[in-house]
Every structure is written in structure tokens, then in C-alpha cells.
Amino acid sequence: MKMMTAIIKPFKLDDVRDALNEIGIAGMTVEEVKGYGRQKGHTELYRGAEYLVEFQPKVKLQIAISDDQVEAAIDAISGAASTGKIGDGKIFVVPLEQSIRIRTGETGEDAL
């Protein structure tokens, strides 16, 4: 099993969710987060004054998936979240040792 974390632009969330649903991944956790990468923010003009916006609004998805779904999920997220511009996001995949469905007590991939 793997825990996949994806950081994407907020307006791409529905596209990513739809792409994951198409490949059979229905469950995910979504958080609104802020951060920056290589672009380190940008300047904006507000009421005639210029100011630095250091943190960009992003959406963080966490998805627990089986090993055989990893490549399909990466392709789905990458395709749906891409705008071709700076700040499209990142995907991280780490091993997931155990999962337990609290309601039924199922463990491992059965709990996903």
C-alpha cells in the first residue's frame, strides 16, 4: 500500500477528483493549505501599493491506495492538475504500513 500526497492548484480539485473516480479511486482527504516552491511568491498591486504574496493557496490531497494503482493515480493526477504553468504542484508517494477501517475492523488493502 502507498500513501499518495498531491499538492495542486485549488481550481483543479474537481478535475483531479473526476480523473481519480474514473480509475476507481473514490476516497481522499482534502485540505486547504498555503505554500511556495521555486517561485517563492509574487508581487501584487492592491489600491496602488505593491506587496509581496509569499504563500500561494493550494489544495493538499491524501490518498491511500494499493500498490497496483500507483502509476494510474500518478497519471490521472498529473493529467488533470496540469496547466503547464509554474506552481502546478507536486505528488509524493510513500509506503503505508497499515490501514484499519474503524467501523468494521478490516485491515490492510481491505480497509482501503
Task: Tell me the domains of the chain and their CATH numbers.
Answer: 2-111 (3.30.70.120)
Number of CB atoms found within 10 A of residue 108's CB: 14
Tell me the percentage of the chain whose pLDDT exceeds 90: 71
pLDDT in tens, 87-104: 899 999 999 999 999 999
Q: Residue for cell digits 500526497?
A: 5
DSSP state of 13: H
The predicted pLDDT at position 43 comes to 67
Place of cell 498531491: 6
pLDDT score of 86 more than 80: yes
- DSSP 8-state assignment for residue 60: E
Under a CB-based contact definition with an 8 Å cutoff, are residues 34 and 56 in contact?
Answer: yes
Q: What is the pTM of this model?
A: 0.84
